[in-house]
């Protein structure tokens, strides 16, 4: 009675709530019948979780139907059905999967003197796990046997046929929603598409997980918050017996292959990874109270940059930057400024460590109430990265010698074939992740059950440097328009900190009424996100040439971001608070014995709690919206947020009434999360809390000399640094970010149809088709950019361009990057899969997936200017053009298999293989230099029909002159060597339309167990051997990754008198004397071997003791 009162109070308290995907348990459903096939109401159904003694009970209704919700996953379970006058029936060895109901039909025989109880095995019973959509469940067996070295969830979500890295069905992985025991464990800020917070390493040990579920279209309205995939994981719990394990894993450079084809990598850079951990669980009170604890420590080092300068030492790819020039810069900086920029050849590895703990309590309060409490803590300083590739603080927009147009982003990545950087320019993170949760599952009566869940997540990510120092970022060009050398702190590292705190409550109430199972749910999720992000906080310099830098000449560009808050030099410019709430209801109808229909609707709403500090000067600007109407945008308000309705309907048809052939499908709307960093771009770049200044005027730049003090030229900026704004605020000189007032979170309409065929011996075949249509896709537009005022010609195409670098803007010379929605975009997948459940030591799966996915932008960055700049287009950067999704793998074949054999009474060997085959990635062929002068250098390349359409200028590089005729011949060969270019001559290359060659990934694990039994306790000592890229171990020519030599083979130089562009062809530096001298050579091959340990086999050894 007391619990009912508490529940009523909670319902009233939580009415304003938003339901997110919360899958933490499983369910057993079924029907009880007489021998004549009549439903048997009033039968008692008891399910017992054998390892813990946890008991769940239900009574069948007048239709003979029963449901046991909120069950612990795994097993085995024993289910007993009893009714007066009938022989009781017991089913053993039932194992439950996360979020997938286990359905069983039971016929009770009349009792007789010689038959009072019937016992059968679940494997012999006609029962089937009810798949409700494209779902992959990875259980304890797969988690303990499939190959993994990183021990991350992502090594197992790849078992999902529709996966492509962390992306599913061709959609961005940042649109996924990941929950662990119902706790929000998403990478909410979204700087990468890794599904978890914590910098690419799992905040929870793999040893703590019991099951992981990946669902791309679950039509259950209780699941929400995603337009990619719902990833739900459940952790282990204690049982009635004490179980524990201690383990260690190790790998280093000696466990790596050294041959990429015939190329020998030589002595590998030192790298190592060591993991130590353990778990223990058991009863505090038998059948009543249980505990489980896991702890893990990891220490590792990994190779640094995979580039080395020409004439220098190192592994990976040789850059055209010479070792002599790198030494000049190193000597100049250390001598004059006392700053060590770090190594530039034979670079050291990135080194770090992390630790994680999990503690969990399960309490069977009584037969109707189960409570679970959990705590996790993760501290990671093991996330080191190469410095930013090509972004320029505060928008760039400067000119350099040898380049047409302005520079908005670097033409080459700072580490690339054409450019080099120093080691201390790289950066790392300190990641902190803590979670707390409490879950109560209750059964108020045979007709009413309830789930209540309360969770807290605390995340923090702070950028750090290898040497703990900050120094201005310097990009040095080569006098010919290409960046050549970079030094100093990564331009986006100083004053870069993110805090993300989440608190959520949820309540699901389920009522069982005859053929109807009605679920209603409410919840609330509060998020706080504080973002400190000050691009160029250490100051930024760009120089035309190496001589200019070494001779202290004026830079070509200077930028600095500084605080406008007195006494707060490093403010959190974005303080975003949201309250996400919703309400939903669903009815699962057993229309007949073999047909189930589920229909539901949910209402979601996002409340922005407080408004950002705005810039009134920006707000007064008239800028065109997506329809071309001139409007005022507001930087002091978040977008409106109406209630969003998501109806869904699905069905499940047991065609032959025996679970052997099932047709299922559904259709519905899904709305979900996206990287919150895209929202925080607006307050971070409004120029009110902080200001991103830049100087491009040569008359001002001539008075600037390099100075490591970022405040040295504060007098050149308005508004005044570290002083509160007075009067009218200044509009940022580079760019600012806006959000359309009607902006919506992503929303899609998804439909699915599938057939599951169950064969004997555990084999199941599935054929499935899914189609997803974007209703609210995300898009970034430069609202201050006018339509192009001129054109140029290539082949049969007339393409837009701007004749002026300044007059192309409506207001001044800045960019206004606006986050908007578009209804363009879709994806479709077709899946064929056959799988074998575990029996006789073997399990396996084989699947093929065909994916088509189109979008208008990949939004592959975090900053507003990069979101716009790095989207390749045939027109201007504001053109809305459909192209392949960059997250799509068009054809993918996956397979996994494992076999365990026990022998000699005390020995067991397990052999496991994982295979994935598909394109290694997609390619957008673009032109180097901003050919249409729209402010970005990602203009899609025209593929000439023949050499007659090629228009080259003679040029000299490295002492070698290349004539137009030579370039035509080389480019012709380059086109013919690229399958995509060869088959699309006379067309503009499509965005993400070309694909890298097919790659076969084969991973292998061998486990050797030695076990004995002492009393009732089994002791097991296990040796493990895991080899990734196993094929490369067998043959050095296998398993080799390919990379592009360049995706911009043409460099735009000028327009000829007829309005046609004139180009030069990309060259590579080639040595014919073992690296003593290098000469330029015109490009003819589109791909090259990735000559690094990424293309070689890698091995890890492990040792584990379990009891």
From the list 287, 283, 373, 284, the residue with the least C-alpha distance to 24 is 373
From the list 848, 869, 854, 847, the residue with the least C-alpha distance to 922 is 854
| Mean pLDDT, rounded, for 674-683 | 91
Task: Read off the pLDDT of residues 63-110 as tens digits, 9 standing for 90 and up.
Answer: 888 888 888 988 899 999 998 888 888 888 889 888 888 888 888 888
From the list 51, 27, 193, the residue with the least C-alpha distance to 858 is 193
Do 78 and 107 contact (CB within 8 A), yes or no?
no
| Mean pLDDT, rounded, for 872-880 | 94
Identify the residue whose tokens are 């699309």: 984
Task: Read off the pLDDT of residues 988-1015 as tens digits, 9 standing for 90 and up.
Answer: 999 999 999 999 999 999 999 999 998 8
For the ranges 756-770, 831-845, 856-870, which has the lowest average pLDDT?
Answer: 856-870
- Residue 716 has a CB neighbour count (10 Å cut-off) of 14
| Mean pLDDT, rounded, for 722-751 | 86
Top-confidence residue, 637 or 122: 637
Cα(355)–Cα(336) distance, rounded to whole angstroms?
Answer: 41
**465 phi/psi in degrees, rounded to 5:** -115, 160
Tokens representing 242 are: 């004490």
pLDDT > 60? residue 6: no
Q: What pLDDT score does 760 carry?
A: 85
Instruction: Please provide the DSSP assignment of 410-470 as one string.
Output: -SS-SSSSS-EE-GGG-EEEEEEEEEEEEEEEEEEETTEEEEEEEEEEEEEEEEE-TTS--
Cα(988)–Cα(983) distance, rounded to whole angstroms?
Answer: 12
Please say whether the dihedral angle defined by the alpha carbons of residues 237, 239, 242 and 248, taken in this order, is positive or negative: negative
Which segments of 161-315 are extended strands (E)?
A: 163-164, 167-168, 177-180, 183-184, 209-215, 230-235, 243-252, 259-260, 263-264, 272-285, 289-302, 307-310
User: How deeply is 516 buried, as exposed, middle or buried, from its count of CB atoms within 10 A (0-12, 13-18, 19+)?
Assistant: middle
- pLDDT band at 158, cuts 50/70/90? very high
Tokens representing 1044 are: 């592009």
Do 70 and 25 contact (CB within 8 A), yes or no?
yes
From the list 1027, 1028, 1054, the residue with the least C-alpha distance to 1041 is 1028
- pLDDT band at 804, cuts 50/70/90? confident
For the ranges 32-46, 419-433, 1032-1046, which has the lowest average pLDDT?
Answer: 32-46
Which segments of 97-174 are extended strands (E)?
A: 102-107, 117-121, 127-129, 135-138, 163-164, 167-168
Do 157 and 194 contact (CB within 8 A), yes or no?
no
Pairing of β 230-235 and β 177-180:
parallel
- pLDDT band at 23, cuts 50/70/90? confident
User: pTM for the whole thing?
Assistant: 0.86
Which H helix or E strand runs over 142? Answer: helix 140-145
Q: What pLDDT score does 86 carry?
A: 87
Top-confidence residue, 686 or 897: 897
User: How deeply is 860 buried, as exposed, middle or buried, from its count of CB atoms within 10 A (0-12, 13-18, 19+)?
Assistant: middle
Task: Read off the pLDDT of residues 206-252 as tens digits, 9 standing for 90 and up.
Answer: 999 999 999 998 999 988 899 999 999 999 999 999 999 999 999 99
Task: Read off the pLDDT of residues 1058-1093 as tens digits, 9 standing for 90 and up.
Answer: 999 999 999 988 877 766 677 899 999 999 999 888
Do 632 and 619 contact (CB within 8 A), yes or no?
yes
Q: What pLDDT score does 473 carry?
A: 98
From the list 796, 807, 906, 818, the residue with the least C-alpha distance to 865 is 818
Question: From the DSSP assignment, how many helices (H) and strands (E) are in the chain?
Answer: 12, 67
Which H helix or E strand runs over 549? Answer: helix 546-550
pLDDT > 80? residue 19: no
Pairing of β 595-608 and β 574-592:
antiparallel
From the list 73, 78, 77, 196, the residue with the least C-alpha distance to 140 is 73
Pairing of β 595-608 and β 44-49:
unpaired
CATH assignment, 2-128: 2.60.40.1120
Q: Tell me the average pLDDT of the chain.
A: 91
Calculate what percentage of the chain has a pLDDT beyond 70: 95
**809 forms bridges with which residues in the sheet?**
785
Which H helix or E strand runs over 385? Answer: strand 369-385
Top-confidence residue, 656 or 1069: 656
Q: What pLDDT score does 724 carry?
A: 60
Q: CB-based contacts of 587: which residues, under 8 Å, 6+ apart?
A: 516, 517, 518, 519, 598, 599, 600
Task: Read off the pLDDT of residues 509-565 as tens digits, 9 standing for 90 and up.
Answer: 999 998 999 999 998 999 999 999 999 999 999 999 999 999 999 999 999 999 988
pLDDT > 50? residue 3: no
Instruction: Please provide the DSSP assignment of 922-977 as one string.
Output: EE--EEES-TT-SS-S-EEPB--SSGGG--B--EEETTEEE-HHHHHHHHHHHHHT
- pLDDT band at 122, cuts 50/70/90? low
Sheet holding 926-928, edge to edge: 939-940, 926-928, 1050-1055, 1061-1065
Cα(857)–Cα(238) distance, rounded to whole angstroms?
Answer: 47
Calculate what percentage of the chain has a pLDDT beyond 90: 74
- pLDDT band at 370, cuts 50/70/90? very high
From the list 588, 670, 686, 678, the residue with the least C-alpha distance to 633 is 686
Identify the residue whose tokens are 């009781």: 88
Give the angle 329-333-338 at the CA atoms, nearest 5°: 155
**867 phi/psi in degrees, rounded to 5:** -60, -35
Q: CB-based contacts of 983: which residues, under 8 Å, 6+ apart?
A: none
Q: What pLDDT score does 191 carry?
A: 77
Cα(93)–Cα(95) distance, rounded to whole angstroms?
Answer: 6
- pLDDT band at 18, cuts 50/70/90? very low
Tokens representing 233 are: 């994981």
Identify the residue whose tokens are 């459909």: 882
Do 882 and 857 contact (CB within 8 A), yes or no?
no
Residue 691: asked if its preceding bond is cis (omega within 30°), the reply is: no
Pairing of β 763-782 and β 815-822:
antiparallel
Instruction: Please provide the DSSP assignment of 644-666 as one string.
Output: EEEEEEEEEEETTSSSSEEEEEE
- Residue 334 has a CB neighbour count (10 Å cut-off) of 12
**579 forms bridges with which residues in the sheet?**
526, 607
Which segments of 953-1097 are extended strands (E)?
A: 955-957, 960-962, 994-995, 998-1014, 1017-1028, 1042-1044, 1050-1055, 1061-1065, 1067-1070, 1079-1082, 1087-1089
Q: Which of 191-205, 847-861, 964-978 has the highest mean pLDDT?
A: 964-978
**255 phi/psi in degrees, rounded to 5:** -100, 20
Task: Read off the pLDDT of residues 385-394 as tens digits, 9 standing for 90 and up.
Answer: 999 999 999 8
- pLDDT band at 118, cuts 50/70/90? low
Locate the domains of the chain by residue range. 2-128, 922-1002+1028-1086
Cα(831)–Cα(847) distance, rounded to whole angstroms?
Answer: 7
Rounded to 10 degrees, what is the CA torsion of 970, 973, 975, 977? Answer: -140
Do 294 and 207 contact (CB within 8 A), yes or no?
yes
Chain centroid to Cα 562, Å, comes to 31
Q: Return the percent helix, strand and coil in the chain, to nearest 5.
A: 10, 50, 40
**508 phi/psi in degrees, rounded to 5:** -115, 125
Residue 881 DSSP symbol: -
Task: Read off the pLDDT of residues 255-264 as tens digits, 9 standing for 90 and up.
Answer: 999 999 999 9
């Amino acid at each position: 009675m007391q619990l009912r009162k508490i529940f009523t109070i909670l319902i009233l308290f939580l009415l304003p709530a938003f339901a997110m995907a919360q899958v933490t348990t499983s369910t057993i459903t079924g029907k009880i019948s007489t021998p004549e096939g009549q439903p048997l109401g009033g039968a008692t159904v008891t399910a017992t979780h054998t390892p813990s003694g946890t008991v769940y009970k239900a009574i069948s209704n007048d239709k003979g139907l029963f449901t046991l919700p909120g069950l612990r996953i795994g097993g085995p379970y024993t289910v007993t059905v009893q009714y007066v006058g009938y022989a009781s029936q017991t089913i053993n060895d039932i194992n439950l999967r996360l979020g997938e109901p286990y359905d069983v039909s039971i016929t009770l025989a009349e009792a007789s003197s010689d038959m009072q109880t019937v016992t059968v095995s679940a494997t012999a019973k006609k029962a089937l796990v009810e798949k409700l959509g494209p779902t992959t469940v990875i259980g304890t067996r797969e988690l303990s046997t499939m190959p993994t070295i990183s021990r991350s969830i992502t090594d197992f979500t790849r078992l999902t046929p529709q996966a492509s890295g962390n992306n599913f069905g061709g959609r961005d992985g940042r649109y996924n929603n990941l929950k662990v025991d119902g706790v929000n464990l998403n990478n909410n800020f979204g700087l990468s598409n890794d599904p978890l917070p914590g910098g690419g390493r799992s905040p929870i040990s793999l040893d703590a997980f019991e099951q992981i579920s990946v669902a791309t279209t679950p039509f259950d309205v209780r699941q929400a918050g995603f337009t990619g995939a719902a990833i739900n994981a459940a952790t282990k719990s204690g049982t009635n017996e004490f179980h524990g394990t201690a383990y260690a894993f190790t790998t280093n450079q000696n466990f790596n292959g050294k041959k990429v084809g015939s190329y020998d990598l030589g002595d590998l850079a030192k790298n190592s990874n060591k993991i130590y951990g353990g778990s223990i669980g058991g009863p505090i009170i038998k059948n009543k109270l249980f505990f489980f604890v896991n702890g893990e420590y990891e220490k590792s080092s990994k190779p640094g940059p995979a580039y080395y300068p020409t004439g220098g030492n190192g592994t990976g790819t040789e850059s055209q930057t010479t070792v002599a020039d790198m030494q000049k810069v190193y000597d100049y900086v250390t001598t004059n400024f006392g700053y060590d920029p770090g190594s530039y050849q034979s670079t050291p590895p990135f080194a770090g460590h992390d630790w994680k703990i999990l503690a969990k309590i399960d309490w069977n309060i009584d037969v109707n109430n189960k409570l679970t409490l959990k705590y996790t803590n993760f501290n990671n300083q093991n996330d080191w990265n190469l410095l930013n590739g090509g972004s320029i603080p505060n928008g760039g927009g400067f000119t350099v010698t040898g380049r047409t147009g302005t520079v908005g982003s670097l033409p080459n990545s700072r580490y690339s074939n054409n450019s080099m950087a120093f080691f201390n320019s790289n950066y790392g993170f300190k990641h902190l992740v803590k979670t707390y949760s409490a879950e109560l599952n209750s059964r108020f009566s045979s007709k009413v059950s309830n789930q209540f869940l309360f969770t807290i997540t605390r995340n923090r990510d702070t950028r750090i440097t290898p040497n703990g120092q900050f120094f201005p970022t310097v990009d040095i060009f080569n006098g010919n328009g290409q960046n050549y050398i970079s030094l100093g702190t990564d331009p986006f590292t100083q004053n870069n900190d993110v805090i993300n705190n989440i608190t959520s409550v949820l309540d699901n109430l389920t009522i069982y009424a005859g053929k109807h199972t009605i679920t209603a749910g409410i919840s609330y999720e509060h998020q706080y996100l504080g973002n400190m992000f000050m691009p160029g906080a250490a100051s930024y310099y760009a120089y035309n040439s190496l001589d200019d830098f070494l001779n202290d000449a004026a830079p070509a560009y200077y930028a600095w971001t500084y605080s406008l808050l007195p006494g707060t030099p490093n403010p959190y410019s974005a303080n975003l608070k949201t309250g996400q709430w919703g309400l939903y209801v669903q009815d699962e109808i057993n229309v007949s014995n073999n047909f189930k229909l589920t229909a539901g609707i949910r209402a979601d709403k996002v409340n922005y709690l407080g408004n950002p500090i705005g810039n009134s000067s920006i707000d007064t600007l008239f800028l065109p919206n997506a329809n071309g109407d001139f409007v005022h945008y507001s930087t002091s308000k978040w977008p409106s947020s109406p209630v969003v309705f998501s109806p869904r309907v699905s069905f499940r048809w047991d065609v032959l009434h025996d679970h052997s052939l099932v047709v299922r499908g559904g259709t519905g709307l899904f709305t979900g999360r996206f990287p919150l960093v895209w929202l925080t771009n607006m307050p971070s770049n409004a120029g009110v809390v902080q200001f991103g200044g830049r100087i491009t005027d040569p008359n001002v730049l001539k008075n600037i000399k390099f100075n490591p003090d970022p405040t040295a030229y504060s007098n050149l900026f308005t508004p005044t640094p570290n002083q509160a704004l007075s009067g009218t605020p200044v509009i940022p000189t580079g760019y600012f970010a806006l959000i359309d007032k009607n902006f919506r979170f992503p929303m899609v309409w998804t439909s699915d149809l599938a057939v599951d065929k169950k064969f004997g011996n555990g084999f199941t075949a599935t054929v499935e088709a899914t189609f997803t249509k974007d209703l609210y896709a995300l898009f970034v537009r430069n609202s201050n950019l006018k339509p192009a005022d001129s054109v140029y010609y290539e082949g049969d195409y007339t393409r837009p361009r701007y004749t002026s670098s300044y007059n192309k803007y409506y207001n001044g010379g800045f960019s206004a990057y606006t986050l908007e929605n578009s209804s363009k975009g879709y994806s479709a997948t077709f899946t064929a899969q056959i799988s074998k459940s575990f029996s006789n030591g073997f399990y396996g799966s084989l699947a093929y997936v065909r994916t088509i996915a189109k979008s208008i932008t990949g939004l592959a960055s975090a900053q507003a200017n990069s979101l716009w700049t790095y989207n390749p287009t045939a027109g201007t950067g504001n053109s809305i053009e459909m192209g392949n999704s960059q997250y799509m793998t068009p054809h993918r074949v996956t397979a996994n298999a494992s076999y365990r054999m026990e022998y000699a009474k005390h020995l067991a060997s397990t052999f496991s293989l994982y295979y994935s085959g598909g394109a290694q990635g997609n390619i957008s062929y673009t032109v180097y230099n901003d050919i249409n002068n729209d402010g970005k250098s990602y203009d899609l390349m025209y593929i000439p029909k023949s050499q007659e359409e090629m228009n080259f200028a003679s040029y000299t590089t490295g002492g070698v002159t290349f004539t137009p005729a030579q370039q035509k011949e080389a480019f012709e060969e380059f086109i013919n060597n690229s399958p995509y270019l060869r088959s699309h001559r006379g067309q503009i290359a499509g965005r993400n339309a070309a694909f890298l060659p097919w790659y076969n990934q084969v991973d292998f694990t061998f486990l050797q167990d030695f076990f004995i039994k002492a009393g009732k306790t089994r002791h097991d000592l296990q040796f493990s051997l895991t080899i990734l890229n196993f094929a490369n171990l067998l043959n050095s020519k296998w398993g080799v990754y390919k990379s592009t030599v360049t995706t911009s083979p043409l460099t735009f130089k000028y327009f000829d008198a007829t309005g046609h562009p004139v180009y030069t062809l990309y060259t590579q530096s080639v040595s014919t004397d073992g690296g003593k001298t290098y000469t330029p050579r015109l490009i003819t091959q589109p791909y090259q071997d990735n000559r690094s340990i990424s293309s070689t086999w890698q091995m890890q050894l492990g040792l584990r003791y379990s009891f």
